[in-house]
Amino acid sequence: MKRANVQALRKSALIAATIDQIGATGSLEVTVSQIARKAGVSSALAHHYFGSKDQLFLAAMRAILSDFGAEVRAECAGLETPRRRVDAIVRTCFSPGNFRPEVVASWLNFYVLAQTSREAHRLLRVYQRRLHSNLLAELRPVADVRAPQIAQTVGALIDGLYIRQALRNESLDAAASIGLVTDYLDGVLGAKPQDSKDHRP
């Protein structure tokens, strides 16, 4: 295998292991050794490639954020109406990939990390702003001046549903969460009957 690939392979294995381990323990108090073991390498190698534990955390954040961004773009591609694209964004937030317990737990912990780390803070703001501007762009045509407020409400609602998932609130799974947001949107925008069967009964 080519050398460049080995490096990339190790890095992504370490990033995946980081997310898994944060998810497994529900905390940032994971040791580099635990992560490295899970990735099948030594802790020294993790330091070699990432420099520090914090850098590893940030890399994991960037990975989650960029996966999320890519998924949103993919889901929205080809959709005809703004409303459908809004729904696609919402669905993506709760998609199987993004709503996995490890990912939600990591997300929550990244919020905590953002209190200490400038870079984590910056990354989270980038995510928030991107989500907001995506929503805004789609809402503008259908909600006009109300669009900014609706976008903010949807954004906060999504974050709130996420945090509740972190508490493993069984009554609020992905489908129910999507349903809540969609119903809110139906309410403020006016229902959209032909699509509203999206959420399973």
Partner DNA sequence: AAAATTATTGATTGACGAGTCAATTAAAAA
Partner DNA sequence: TTTTTAATTGACTCGTCAATCAATAATTTT
Task: Give the contact letters, 48-87, x = binds to DNA (CB under 7 A), - = no.
Answer: x--xxxx---------------------------------
Residue (12 or 33) nearer to its own copies, CB: 33
Task: In whole angstroms, give the CA distance from residue 98 to residue 193.
Answer: 27
Stretch that binds DNA, among 43-51, 61-69, 121-129, 159-167 (CB under 7 A): 43-51
User: 138: exposed, middle or buried (C-beta count within 10 Å: 0-12, 13-18, 19+)?
Assistant: buried
Is there binding between residue 3 and DNA (CB under 7 A)? yes
The rounded distance, in Å, linking the Cα atoms of 74 and 71 is: 5
Q: Which stretch binds its own copies (CB under 8 A): 39-47, 59-67, 86-94, 160-168?
A: 160-168
User: Minimum distance from CB of 68 to DNA (Å)?
Assistant: 26
Site map 20..39 versus DNA, x via CB under 7 A: ----------xxxx------
| Residue with Cβ nearer DNA (62 or 140) | 62
> Given the rule CB under 7 A, which residues bind DNA?
1-4, 6-7, 10, 30-33, 40-45, 47-48, 51-54
Which residues are near its own copies by CB under 8 A? Answer: 25-29, 105, 108-109, 111-112, 114-116, 121, 124-125, 128, 149, 152-153, 155-164, 166-167, 169, 172, 180, 183-184, 187-188
